[in-house]
Structure 1
Amino acid sequence: MAAQLFEANYQRLGFIPFTAASASLVQHQNYEGYIKVLYAHKGAQLDIDFTHYHVQQPTLFFINSNQYLHIHSLQETEGYFMYYNRDFYCVQIHDAEVACDGLLFNNIYQMPSVVLDRKEQAIVESIFEQIQEEFTLAAATQEEMLRIYVKQIIIRATRVWKKQQLGLLNTQPNHEIEFFRAFSRWVEIHYRTKHLVADYAELLGVAPKTLTNKFNRLQLPSPNEVIKDRILLEAKRLLIHTTLSAKEIAYDLGYDDPAYFNRLFTKKIGDSPNVFRKKYIEGKNVQLEL
Protein backbone atom coordinates (compact mmCIF):
# COMPACT_ATOMS: atom_id res chain seq x y z
CA MET A 1 0.00 0.00 0.00
CA ALA A 2 1.25 3.48 -0.87
CA ALA A 3 1.92 6.29 1.57
CA GLN A 4 -1.22 7.91 2.97
CA LEU A 5 -1.82 11.36 4.43
CA PHE A 6 -4.60 12.84 6.54
CA GLU A 7 -4.65 16.63 6.60
CA ALA A 8 -7.28 19.07 7.91
CA ASN A 9 -7.19 22.38 9.81
CA TYR A 10 -3.40 22.27 10.38
CA GLN A 11 -3.66 18.68 11.61
CA ARG A 12 -1.54 16.14 9.77
CA LEU A 13 -0.88 12.42 10.08
CA GLY A 14 1.07 10.43 7.53
CA PHE A 15 1.29 6.65 7.27
CA ILE A 16 3.87 4.71 5.23
CA PRO A 17 4.17 0.92 5.03
CA PHE A 18 7.77 0.17 4.08
CA THR A 19 10.30 -2.53 3.26
CA ALA A 20 14.05 -2.40 2.69
CA ALA A 21 13.39 -1.24 -0.87
CA SER A 22 11.56 1.89 0.31
CA ALA A 23 13.87 3.01 3.13
CA SER A 24 14.41 6.39 1.49
CA LEU A 25 10.74 7.23 2.09
CA VAL A 26 11.18 7.35 5.86
CA GLN A 27 14.40 9.31 6.34
CA HIS A 28 14.28 11.99 9.00
CA GLN A 29 14.88 15.04 6.88
CA ASN A 30 11.51 14.56 5.20
CA TYR A 31 9.69 14.77 8.53
CA GLU A 32 11.47 17.40 10.60
CA GLY A 33 9.15 18.88 13.21
CA TYR A 34 6.92 15.79 13.33
CA ILE A 35 6.54 13.17 16.03
CA LYS A 36 7.45 9.85 14.44
CA VAL A 37 6.56 6.20 15.20
CA LEU A 38 8.60 3.51 13.47
CA TYR A 39 7.77 -0.19 13.66
CA ALA A 40 10.72 -2.31 12.52
CA HIS A 41 11.57 -6.02 12.41
CA LYS A 42 14.79 -7.92 13.08
CA GLY A 43 17.68 -6.74 10.97
CA ALA A 44 16.81 -3.05 10.76
CA GLN A 45 19.58 -0.64 11.71
CA LEU A 46 19.02 3.00 12.60
CA ASP A 47 20.39 5.91 14.63
CA ILE A 48 18.28 8.05 16.94
CA ASP A 49 20.34 11.06 17.97
CA PHE A 50 23.69 9.51 18.93
CA THR A 51 22.58 5.96 19.66
CA HIS A 52 22.75 3.15 17.12
CA TYR A 53 20.08 0.43 17.20
CA HIS A 54 20.39 -2.98 15.56
CA VAL A 55 16.90 -4.47 15.88
CA GLN A 56 16.82 -8.06 17.16
CA GLN A 57 13.03 -8.50 17.43
CA PRO A 58 9.98 -6.42 16.49
CA THR A 59 10.41 -2.99 18.02
CA LEU A 60 8.50 0.28 18.17
CA PHE A 61 10.51 3.49 18.11
CA PHE A 62 8.97 6.76 19.29
CA ILE A 63 10.97 9.71 17.97
CA ASN A 64 10.11 13.14 19.28
CA SER A 65 10.11 16.17 16.98
CA ASN A 66 13.45 17.38 18.39
CA GLN A 67 15.20 14.02 17.91
CA TYR A 68 17.13 12.99 14.82
CA LEU A 69 16.47 9.77 12.94
CA HIS A 70 18.83 8.21 10.41
CA ILE A 71 18.02 4.82 8.88
CA HIS A 72 20.94 2.70 7.71
CA SER A 73 18.98 -0.35 6.57
CA LEU A 74 15.54 -1.91 6.89
CA GLN A 75 14.28 -5.47 6.77
CA GLU A 76 12.41 -7.21 3.96
CA THR A 77 9.40 -7.84 6.22
CA GLU A 78 6.93 -4.97 5.95
CA GLY A 79 7.16 -2.38 8.70
CA TYR A 80 5.27 0.84 9.34
CA PHE A 81 6.21 4.49 9.68
CA MET A 82 3.77 7.04 11.04
CA TYR A 83 4.34 10.75 11.57
CA TYR A 84 2.05 13.43 12.94
CA ASN A 85 2.16 16.96 14.28
CA ARG A 86 1.08 18.29 17.65
CA ASP A 87 -2.04 19.78 16.13
CA PHE A 88 -3.14 16.22 15.39
CA TYR A 89 -2.14 14.80 18.77
CA CYS A 90 -0.12 16.35 21.59
CA VAL A 91 0.82 14.04 24.47
CA GLN A 92 1.32 17.01 26.80
CA ILE A 93 -2.21 18.31 26.25
CA HIS A 94 -3.75 14.82 26.36
CA ASP A 95 -1.55 13.42 29.12
CA ALA A 96 -4.56 12.35 31.19
CA GLU A 97 -5.57 10.04 28.32
CA VAL A 98 -2.26 8.25 27.73
CA ALA A 99 0.03 9.09 30.71
CA CYS A 100 3.16 8.77 28.57
CA ASP A 101 4.82 12.18 28.86
CA GLY A 102 7.98 11.72 30.90
CA LEU A 103 7.96 8.00 30.12
CA LEU A 104 7.61 7.06 26.47
CA PHE A 105 8.39 10.64 25.47
CA ASN A 106 10.79 13.00 27.25
CA ASN A 107 12.10 10.31 29.60
CA ILE A 108 15.34 10.72 31.54
CA TYR A 109 16.95 7.80 29.71
CA GLN A 110 16.28 9.34 26.28
CA MET A 111 15.20 5.77 25.51
CA PRO A 112 12.69 5.74 22.65
CA SER A 113 12.38 1.99 21.94
CA VAL A 114 9.82 -0.64 22.99
CA VAL A 115 10.60 -4.28 22.22
CA LEU A 116 7.49 -6.36 21.56
CA ASP A 117 6.81 -9.97 22.49
CA ARG A 118 4.63 -12.10 20.21
CA LYS A 119 1.38 -11.10 21.90
CA GLU A 120 2.10 -7.36 21.73
CA GLN A 121 3.46 -7.74 18.20
CA ALA A 122 0.17 -9.25 17.02
CA ILE A 123 -1.87 -6.50 18.69
CA VAL A 124 0.27 -3.65 17.37
CA GLU A 125 0.35 -5.06 13.83
CA SER A 126 -3.44 -5.37 13.98
CA ILE A 127 -3.74 -1.69 14.89
CA PHE A 128 -1.47 -0.68 12.01
CA GLU A 129 -3.57 -2.81 9.66
CA GLN A 130 -6.69 -1.01 10.89
CA ILE A 131 -5.00 2.31 10.19
CA GLN A 132 -4.31 1.15 6.62
CA GLU A 133 -7.93 0.13 6.23
CA GLU A 134 -9.14 3.46 7.62
CA PHE A 135 -7.37 5.31 4.83
CA THR A 136 -9.31 3.28 2.25
CA LEU A 137 -12.68 4.26 3.73
CA ALA A 138 -12.45 8.07 3.59
CA ALA A 139 -15.26 8.24 6.14
CA ALA A 140 -16.39 11.48 7.81
CA THR A 141 -15.16 10.09 11.13
CA GLN A 142 -11.69 9.25 9.81
CA GLU A 143 -9.88 11.89 11.85
CA GLU A 144 -11.17 10.63 15.19
CA MET A 145 -10.64 6.98 14.28
CA LEU A 146 -7.02 7.66 13.36
CA ARG A 147 -6.54 9.52 16.63
CA ILE A 148 -7.98 6.57 18.56
CA TYR A 149 -5.53 4.20 16.88
CA VAL A 150 -2.60 6.50 17.70
CA LYS A 151 -3.71 6.57 21.33
CA GLN A 152 -4.01 2.79 21.43
CA ILE A 153 -0.44 2.36 20.18
CA ILE A 154 0.90 4.93 22.66
CA ILE A 155 -0.96 3.41 25.63
CA ARG A 156 0.14 -0.13 24.86
CA ALA A 157 3.72 0.93 24.23
CA THR A 158 3.83 2.96 27.46
CA ARG A 159 2.76 -0.07 29.49
CA VAL A 160 5.49 -2.21 27.92
CA TRP A 161 8.11 0.55 28.23
CA LYS A 162 7.46 0.83 31.96
CA LYS A 163 8.07 -2.89 32.43
CA GLN A 164 11.25 -2.81 30.33
CA GLN A 165 12.85 0.41 31.56
CA LEU A 166 11.70 1.40 35.05
CA GLY A 167 13.15 -1.49 37.04
CA LEU A 168 12.36 -1.08 40.74
CA LEU A 169 10.26 2.00 40.10
CA ASN A 170 7.67 -0.08 38.26
CA THR A 171 6.98 -1.97 41.52
CA GLN A 172 6.31 1.24 43.47
CA PRO A 173 2.98 3.00 44.14
CA ASN A 174 1.66 5.08 41.28
CA HIS A 175 2.56 8.38 42.98
CA GLU A 176 6.25 7.43 42.73
CA ILE A 177 5.94 6.93 38.97
CA GLU A 178 4.11 10.25 38.73
CA PHE A 179 6.97 11.91 40.63
CA PHE A 180 9.44 10.42 38.15
CA ARG A 181 7.34 11.63 35.24
CA ALA A 182 7.10 15.13 36.71
CA PHE A 183 10.88 15.34 37.14
CA SER A 184 11.43 14.15 33.56
CA ARG A 185 8.98 16.73 32.21
CA TRP A 186 10.48 19.60 34.22
CA VAL A 187 13.98 18.75 32.98
CA GLU A 188 12.76 18.72 29.39
CA ILE A 189 11.11 22.11 29.84
CA HIS A 190 13.84 23.89 31.80
CA TYR A 191 17.22 22.29 31.00
CA ARG A 192 18.37 25.44 29.19
CA THR A 193 17.81 27.71 32.19
CA LYS A 194 17.88 25.46 35.28
CA HIS A 195 21.06 23.47 35.79
CA LEU A 196 20.96 22.55 39.49
CA VAL A 197 19.24 19.74 41.39
CA ALA A 198 17.95 22.40 43.79
CA ASP A 199 16.06 24.09 40.92
CA TYR A 200 14.05 20.95 40.20
CA ALA A 201 13.61 20.04 43.86
CA GLU A 202 11.93 23.42 44.30
CA LEU A 203 9.62 22.78 41.34
CA LEU A 204 8.70 19.39 42.85
CA GLY A 205 8.24 20.75 46.36
CA VAL A 206 10.95 18.66 48.03
CA ALA A 207 14.45 19.19 49.42
CA PRO A 208 17.37 18.56 47.03
CA LYS A 209 18.64 15.76 49.27
CA THR A 210 15.19 14.14 49.25
CA LEU A 211 15.12 14.19 45.45
CA THR A 212 18.59 12.64 45.19
CA ASN A 213 17.88 10.01 47.85
CA LYS A 214 14.62 9.02 46.17
CA PHE A 215 16.40 8.34 42.88
CA ASN A 216 19.23 6.51 44.61
CA ARG A 217 16.79 4.28 46.48
CA LEU A 218 15.12 3.28 43.22
CA GLN A 219 18.49 2.69 41.50
CA LEU A 220 17.80 5.45 38.96
CA PRO A 221 20.43 7.77 37.51
CA SER A 222 21.12 10.65 39.90
CA PRO A 223 19.15 13.85 39.24
CA ASN A 224 22.38 15.76 38.66
CA GLU A 225 23.48 13.26 35.99
CA VAL A 226 20.05 13.43 34.33
CA ILE A 227 20.17 17.21 34.12
CA LYS A 228 23.72 17.30 32.76
CA ASP A 229 23.03 14.47 30.28
CA ARG A 230 20.03 16.35 28.87
CA ILE A 231 22.05 19.55 28.48
CA LEU A 232 24.90 17.71 26.78
CA LEU A 233 22.56 15.81 24.45
CA GLU A 234 21.27 19.16 23.22
CA ALA A 235 24.83 20.42 22.92
CA LYS A 236 25.71 17.45 20.70
CA ARG A 237 22.62 18.02 18.57
CA LEU A 238 23.57 21.66 18.07
CA LEU A 239 27.17 20.77 17.27
CA ILE A 240 26.14 18.30 14.58
CA HIS A 241 22.98 19.80 13.14
CA THR A 242 23.78 23.54 13.24
CA THR A 243 26.76 25.75 12.46
CA LEU A 244 26.76 27.41 15.90
CA SER A 245 30.16 27.76 17.54
CA ALA A 246 30.90 26.09 20.87
CA LYS A 247 30.69 29.51 22.54
CA GLU A 248 27.29 30.22 20.97
CA ILE A 249 26.03 26.81 22.08
CA ALA A 250 27.21 27.48 25.62
CA TYR A 251 25.21 30.72 25.71
CA ASP A 252 22.20 29.02 24.11
CA LEU A 253 22.22 26.42 26.88
CA GLY A 254 22.34 29.00 29.66
CA TYR A 255 26.06 29.09 30.46
CA ASP A 256 27.51 32.59 30.87
CA ASP A 257 31.02 31.13 31.02
CA PRO A 258 31.79 29.23 27.80
CA ALA A 259 35.07 27.95 29.27
CA TYR A 260 33.17 26.24 32.11
CA PHE A 261 30.78 24.68 29.58
CA ASN A 262 33.73 23.51 27.50
CA ARG A 263 35.26 21.79 30.56
CA LEU A 264 31.93 20.17 31.47
CA PHE A 265 31.45 18.86 27.92
CA THR A 266 35.00 17.54 27.73
CA LYS A 267 34.79 15.81 31.11
CA LYS A 268 31.47 14.08 30.34
CA ILE A 269 31.89 13.31 26.63
CA GLY A 270 35.63 12.69 26.50
CA ASP A 271 36.31 15.25 23.76
CA SER A 272 36.02 19.01 23.56
CA PRO A 273 32.99 20.32 21.62
CA ASN A 274 35.10 21.13 18.56
CA VAL A 275 36.84 17.75 18.57
CA PHE A 276 33.49 16.00 18.98
CA ARG A 277 32.11 17.84 15.96
CA LYS A 278 35.21 17.02 13.90
CA LYS A 279 35.09 13.31 14.83
CA TYR A 280 31.39 13.07 14.00
CA ILE A 281 31.85 14.68 10.61
CA GLU A 282 34.68 12.25 9.91
CA GLY A 283 32.48 9.31 10.91
CA LYS A 284 34.52 8.29 13.91
CA ASN A 285 33.15 6.48 16.95
CA VAL A 286 30.99 8.94 18.87
CA GLN A 287 27.92 6.69 19.10
CA LEU A 288 26.82 3.84 21.31
CA GLU A 289 25.92 0.46 19.80
CA LEU A 290 22.72 -1.13 21.16
Structure 2
Amino acid sequence: MIKEFSYKQFGNIAFSKASMQSDSLNLIHEHIKILFIPQKAIIQVDFQEIEMKTDALLFINPHVILKPCETIGGQLLHFNKDFYCIEIHDQEVACDGILYNNVFEIPFINLNAEQSNDIQKLIKDIQSEMENEDSSTEEMLRILLKMIILKSTRIWKQQHQLTEKEQHADVQFLRKFSKLVELHYKTLHTVADYADLLCITPKNLSKKIGLLSKETPNEIIKNRIILESKRLLAHTTMSVKEIAYTLNYEDDAYFIRFFTKNTGLSPITFRKQF
Protein backbone atom coordinates (compact mmCIF):
# COMPACT_ATOMS: atom_id res chain seq x y z
CA MET A 1 0.00 0.00 0.00
CA ILE A 2 1.16 3.52 -0.71
CA LYS A 3 -0.31 6.93 0.04
CA GLU A 4 0.53 10.05 -1.94
CA PHE A 5 -0.03 13.58 -0.66
CA SER A 6 1.08 15.89 -3.47
CA TYR A 7 4.84 15.16 -3.66
CA LYS A 8 4.83 13.32 -0.34
CA GLN A 9 4.87 9.51 -0.42
CA PHE A 10 4.45 6.95 2.35
CA GLY A 11 3.96 3.20 2.00
CA ASN A 12 3.90 -0.20 3.67
CA ILE A 13 4.96 -3.54 2.13
CA ALA A 14 4.87 -7.06 3.57
CA PHE A 15 8.54 -8.09 3.57
CA SER A 16 9.20 -11.79 3.00
CA LYS A 17 11.03 -13.97 0.53
CA ALA A 18 7.73 -15.25 -0.85
CA SER A 19 5.94 -11.90 -1.18
CA MET A 20 8.66 -9.59 -2.46
CA GLN A 21 8.64 -9.24 -6.25
CA SER A 22 11.92 -8.57 -8.00
CA ASP A 23 11.12 -4.94 -8.82
CA SER A 24 9.32 -4.01 -5.57
CA LEU A 25 12.42 -2.63 -3.88
CA ASN A 26 13.71 -1.03 -7.07
CA LEU A 27 10.56 1.11 -7.26
CA ILE A 28 11.28 2.58 -3.82
CA HIS A 29 15.08 2.66 -4.14
CA GLU A 30 15.15 6.41 -3.38
CA HIS A 31 12.92 6.11 -0.30
CA ILE A 32 13.99 6.09 3.34
CA LYS A 33 12.94 2.83 5.00
CA ILE A 34 12.16 1.22 8.36
CA LEU A 35 12.09 -2.59 8.36
CA PHE A 36 10.58 -4.70 11.14
CA ILE A 37 12.15 -8.18 11.02
CA PRO A 38 11.09 -11.14 13.19
CA GLN A 39 13.46 -13.36 15.14
CA LYS A 40 15.37 -16.00 13.12
CA ALA A 41 14.76 -14.19 9.83
CA ILE A 42 17.76 -13.98 7.48
CA ILE A 43 18.28 -10.89 5.33
CA GLN A 44 21.07 -9.46 3.21
CA VAL A 45 22.03 -5.81 3.72
CA ASP A 46 24.65 -4.33 1.39
CA PHE A 47 26.12 -7.78 0.61
CA GLN A 48 26.23 -8.86 4.28
CA GLU A 49 23.94 -11.72 5.33
CA ILE A 50 22.53 -11.42 8.84
CA GLU A 51 20.36 -13.72 10.97
CA MET A 52 18.13 -12.01 13.52
CA LYS A 53 18.70 -13.15 17.11
CA THR A 54 15.60 -11.23 18.27
CA ASP A 55 12.81 -9.24 16.66
CA ALA A 56 14.49 -6.12 15.33
CA LEU A 57 14.12 -2.84 13.47
CA LEU A 58 16.47 -1.80 10.68
CA PHE A 59 16.77 1.82 9.54
CA ILE A 60 17.71 2.07 5.90
CA ASN A 61 18.92 5.06 3.90
CA PRO A 62 18.25 5.37 0.16
CA HIS A 63 20.46 3.23 -2.10
CA VAL A 64 21.17 0.56 0.55
CA ILE A 65 20.82 -2.85 -1.13
CA LEU A 66 18.27 -4.97 0.74
CA LYS A 67 17.22 -8.57 0.12
CA PRO A 68 14.98 -11.02 2.06
CA CYS A 69 16.77 -14.38 2.18
CA GLU A 70 14.75 -16.42 4.67
CA THR A 71 12.18 -13.98 5.99
CA ILE A 72 8.53 -14.46 6.97
CA GLY A 73 6.39 -11.79 8.63
CA GLY A 74 8.55 -8.74 8.01
CA GLN A 75 7.05 -5.28 7.48
CA LEU A 76 8.67 -2.50 5.46
CA LEU A 77 7.67 1.14 5.92
CA HIS A 78 9.01 3.52 3.28
CA PHE A 79 8.72 7.24 2.65
CA ASN A 80 10.37 10.05 0.73
CA LYS A 81 12.00 13.14 2.23
CA ASP A 82 9.05 15.31 1.28
CA PHE A 83 6.92 13.25 3.65
CA TYR A 84 9.31 13.30 6.62
CA CYS A 85 12.76 14.82 6.98
CA ILE A 86 15.09 17.08 8.89
CA GLU A 87 13.88 20.40 7.47
CA ILE A 88 10.64 20.23 9.47
CA HIS A 89 11.46 17.77 12.26
CA ASP A 90 13.67 17.46 15.30
CA GLN A 91 17.23 16.68 14.20
CA GLU A 92 17.83 13.79 16.57
CA VAL A 93 14.91 11.76 15.23
CA ALA A 94 14.93 13.01 11.64
CA CYS A 95 16.22 11.45 8.44
CA ASP A 96 19.82 12.25 9.29
CA GLY A 97 19.46 11.49 13.00
CA ILE A 98 21.21 8.84 15.06
CA LEU A 99 19.49 5.93 13.35
CA TYR A 100 20.04 7.10 9.78
CA ASN A 101 23.52 8.59 9.91
CA ASN A 102 25.50 5.97 11.76
CA VAL A 103 28.47 4.66 9.78
CA PHE A 104 29.71 2.72 12.80
CA GLU A 105 27.40 -0.25 12.42
CA ILE A 106 24.39 -1.55 10.52
CA PRO A 107 21.63 0.37 12.32
CA PHE A 108 19.67 -2.46 13.95
CA ILE A 109 17.58 -1.96 17.06
CA ASN A 110 17.15 -5.30 18.85
CA LEU A 111 13.76 -5.52 20.54
CA ASN A 112 12.66 -7.41 23.63
CA ALA A 113 9.14 -8.88 23.74
CA GLU A 114 7.53 -5.76 25.20
CA GLN A 115 9.29 -3.41 22.77
CA SER A 116 8.43 -5.64 19.82
CA ASN A 117 4.75 -5.72 20.74
CA ASP A 118 4.79 -1.93 21.08
CA ILE A 119 6.33 -1.44 17.62
CA GLN A 120 4.05 -4.01 15.98
CA LYS A 121 1.02 -2.21 17.42
CA LEU A 122 2.22 1.06 15.88
CA ILE A 123 2.69 -0.69 12.52
CA LYS A 124 -0.87 -2.06 12.73
CA ASP A 125 -2.11 1.45 13.57
CA ILE A 126 -0.32 2.70 10.45
CA GLN A 127 -1.90 -0.02 8.32
CA SER A 128 -5.32 0.85 9.70
CA GLU A 129 -4.78 4.57 9.11
CA MET A 130 -3.79 3.92 5.50
CA GLU A 131 -7.33 2.68 4.89
CA ASN A 132 -8.64 6.15 5.69
CA GLU A 133 -9.12 8.96 3.18
CA ASP A 134 -9.87 11.95 5.39
CA SER A 135 -7.96 15.22 5.81
CA SER A 136 -6.10 14.08 8.94
CA THR A 137 -4.62 10.89 7.41
CA GLU A 138 -1.31 12.44 6.34
CA GLU A 139 -0.58 13.98 9.72
CA MET A 140 -1.68 10.84 11.61
CA LEU A 141 0.73 8.73 9.54
CA ARG A 142 3.53 11.20 10.19
CA ILE A 143 2.85 11.14 13.95
CA LEU A 144 2.87 7.31 14.05
CA LEU A 145 6.09 7.22 12.01
CA LYS A 146 7.76 9.70 14.34
CA MET A 147 6.66 7.62 17.34
CA ILE A 148 8.48 4.59 15.92
CA ILE A 149 11.64 6.63 15.26
CA LEU A 150 11.49 8.34 18.65
CA LYS A 151 10.96 5.09 20.59
CA SER A 152 13.78 3.44 18.61
CA THR A 153 16.15 6.33 19.29
CA ARG A 154 15.44 5.94 23.01
CA ILE A 155 16.12 2.17 22.83
CA TRP A 156 19.36 2.79 20.88
CA LYS A 157 20.61 5.15 23.58
CA GLN A 158 19.75 2.66 26.32
CA GLN A 159 21.49 -0.18 24.48
CA HIS A 160 24.61 1.95 24.04
CA GLN A 161 24.56 2.77 27.78
CA LEU A 162 24.81 6.52 27.38
CA THR A 163 24.02 8.38 30.58
CA GLU A 164 22.05 11.61 30.45
CA LYS A 165 25.15 13.67 31.34
CA GLU A 166 27.35 12.38 28.57
CA GLN A 167 24.53 11.67 26.14
CA HIS A 168 24.33 15.01 24.40
CA ALA A 169 28.05 15.53 23.73
CA ASP A 170 28.89 11.95 22.77
CA VAL A 171 25.86 11.35 20.57
CA GLN A 172 26.23 14.70 18.84
CA PHE A 173 29.91 13.98 18.14
CA LEU A 174 29.00 10.55 16.77
CA ARG A 175 26.40 12.11 14.48
CA LYS A 176 28.77 14.83 13.32
CA PHE A 177 31.55 12.38 12.44
CA SER A 178 29.05 10.05 10.74
CA LYS A 179 27.68 12.87 8.62
CA LEU A 180 31.16 14.05 7.65
CA VAL A 181 32.20 10.56 6.53
CA GLU A 182 28.99 10.17 4.52
CA LEU A 183 29.51 13.57 2.88
CA HIS A 184 33.23 13.29 2.11
CA TYR A 185 34.27 9.61 1.85
CA LYS A 186 34.68 9.92 -1.91
CA THR A 187 37.30 12.64 -1.58
CA LEU A 188 38.73 12.46 1.96
CA HIS A 189 40.38 9.17 2.86
CA THR A 190 42.50 9.79 5.98
CA VAL A 191 41.79 10.25 9.68
CA ALA A 192 43.76 13.50 9.57
CA ASP A 193 41.33 14.91 6.98
CA TYR A 194 38.36 14.41 9.31
CA ALA A 195 40.29 15.54 12.38
CA ASP A 196 40.93 18.84 10.57
CA LEU A 197 37.21 19.22 9.81
CA LEU A 198 36.40 18.59 13.49
CA CYS A 199 39.22 20.89 14.70
CA ILE A 200 40.86 18.19 16.85
CA THR A 201 43.99 16.06 16.53
CA PRO A 202 43.85 12.62 14.85
CA LYS A 203 44.80 11.08 18.21
CA ASN A 204 41.85 12.75 19.98
CA LEU A 205 39.49 11.74 17.18
CA SER A 206 40.55 8.11 17.54
CA LYS A 207 40.12 8.31 21.31
CA LYS A 208 36.60 9.77 21.12
CA ILE A 209 35.44 7.28 18.49
CA GLY A 210 36.94 4.46 20.57
CA LEU A 211 34.40 5.28 23.29
CA LEU A 212 31.53 4.71 20.85
CA SER A 213 32.68 2.13 18.34
CA LYS A 214 34.63 -1.10 18.10
CA GLU A 215 36.10 0.18 14.83
CA THR A 216 38.78 2.82 14.51
CA PRO A 217 38.12 5.99 12.48
CA ASN A 218 40.43 4.64 9.77
CA GLU A 219 38.42 1.41 9.55
CA ILE A 220 35.14 3.34 9.42
CA ILE A 221 36.36 5.51 6.53
CA LYS A 222 37.87 2.55 4.69
CA ASN A 223 34.73 0.42 5.12
CA ARG A 224 32.52 3.17 3.71
CA ILE A 225 34.74 3.41 0.60
CA ILE A 226 34.67 -0.37 0.17
CA LEU A 227 30.88 -0.45 0.53
CA GLU A 228 30.43 2.16 -2.21
CA SER A 229 32.88 0.26 -4.41
CA LYS A 230 30.78 -2.91 -4.00
CA ARG A 231 27.56 -1.07 -4.82
CA LEU A 232 29.03 0.42 -7.98
CA LEU A 233 30.53 -2.90 -9.07
CA ALA A 234 27.33 -4.85 -8.48
CA HIS A 235 24.74 -2.36 -9.70
CA THR A 236 26.37 -0.25 -12.43
CA THR A 237 28.25 -0.90 -15.65
CA MET A 238 31.08 1.47 -14.70
CA SER A 239 34.57 0.15 -15.38
CA VAL A 240 36.97 -0.44 -12.48
CA LYS A 241 38.97 2.57 -13.65
CA GLU A 242 35.83 4.76 -13.63
CA ILE A 243 34.92 3.57 -10.14
CA ALA A 244 38.44 4.29 -8.90
CA TYR A 245 38.24 7.81 -10.36
CA THR A 246 34.79 8.37 -8.79
CA LEU A 247 36.29 7.51 -5.40
CA ASN A 248 39.25 9.85 -5.95
CA TYR A 249 41.85 7.20 -6.74
CA GLU A 250 43.83 8.43 -9.73
CA ASP A 251 45.84 5.19 -9.84
CA ASP A 252 43.35 2.39 -10.57
CA ALA A 253 46.05 -0.21 -9.85
CA TYR A 254 46.30 1.14 -6.29
CA PHE A 255 42.51 1.01 -5.97
CA ILE A 256 42.48 -2.63 -7.15
CA ARG A 257 45.09 -3.54 -4.52
CA PHE A 258 43.13 -1.64 -1.84
CA PHE A 259 39.88 -3.40 -2.73
CA THR A 260 41.47 -6.85 -2.99
CA LYS A 261 43.30 -6.49 0.34
CA ASN A 262 40.11 -5.51 2.18
CA THR A 263 37.64 -7.94 0.58
CA GLY A 264 39.77 -10.93 -0.43
CA LEU A 265 38.47 -10.58 -4.01
CA SER A 266 39.55 -8.51 -6.96
CA PRO A 267 36.95 -5.99 -8.21
CA ILE A 268 36.30 -8.07 -11.35
CA THR A 269 35.83 -11.28 -9.35
CA PHE A 270 33.44 -9.52 -6.96
CA ARG A 271 31.41 -8.16 -9.90
CA LYS A 272 31.09 -11.64 -11.42
CA GLN A 273 29.76 -13.02 -8.12
CA PHE A 274 26.96 -10.43 -8.00
TM-score over 0.5 for the alignment?
A: yes
2:100 corresponding residue in structure 1: 105
Paired amino acid for 1:260: Y
Asked whether the 8 Å contact 2:45–2:67 carries over to 1, the reply is yes
Asked whether the 8 Å contact 1:12–1:84 carries over to 2, the reply is yes
Q: Distance in 2 between matches of 1:12 and 1:171?
A: 38
Q: Distance in 2 between matches of 1:64 and 1:240?
A: 18
What's the CA shift for 1:62? 1.6
Q: Which of the numbers 129, 138, 146 marks the counterpart of 1:134?
A: 129
- The answer on 1:63 being equivalent to 2:57 is no
The structure-2 alpha-carbon separation of the partners of 1:69 and 1:185, relative to structure 1 and needing over 3 Å to count, comes to: same
Asked whether the 8 Å contact 1:26–1:81 carries over to 2, the reply is no
Which moves more between the two structures, 239-248 or 10-19?
10-19
- The answer on 1:81 being equivalent to 2:59 is no
- The answer on 1:31 being equivalent to 2:28 is yes
TM-score between both structures, scaled by the size of structure 2: 0.90
2:157 corresponding residue in structure 1: 162
1:8 corresponding residue in structure 2: 5
Which moves more between the two structures, 187-196 or 53-62?
53-62
Q: Distance in 1 between matches of 2:88 and 2:250?
A: 33
Paired amino acid for 2:132: L
Q: Distance in 2 between matches of 1:125 and 1:26?
A: 26
Which moves more between the two structures, 179-188 or 21-30?
21-30
What's the CA shift for 1:102? 5.5
Asked whether the 8 Å contact 1:27–1:70 carries over to 2, the reply is no
Secondary structure, aligned partner of 2:20: helix
What's the CA shift for 1:268? 1.4
What's the CA shift for 1:225? 1.1
Asked whether the 8 Å contact 1:41–1:79 carries over to 2, the reply is yes
- The answer on 1:144 being equivalent to 2:139 is yes
Secondary structure, aligned partner of 1:229: helix
Equivalenced residue count is 274
What's the CA shift for 1:55? 2.5
Q: Distance in 2 between matches of 1:142 and 1:156?
A: 21
Which moves more between the two structures, 23-32 or 42-51?
23-32
Give the RMSD, CA atoms, in angstroms.
2.5
1:120 corresponding residue in structure 2: 115
TM-score between both structures, scaled by the size of structure 1: 0.85
Unpaired runs of 5+ residues, structure 1, are 282-290
Identity across matched positions, percent: 42
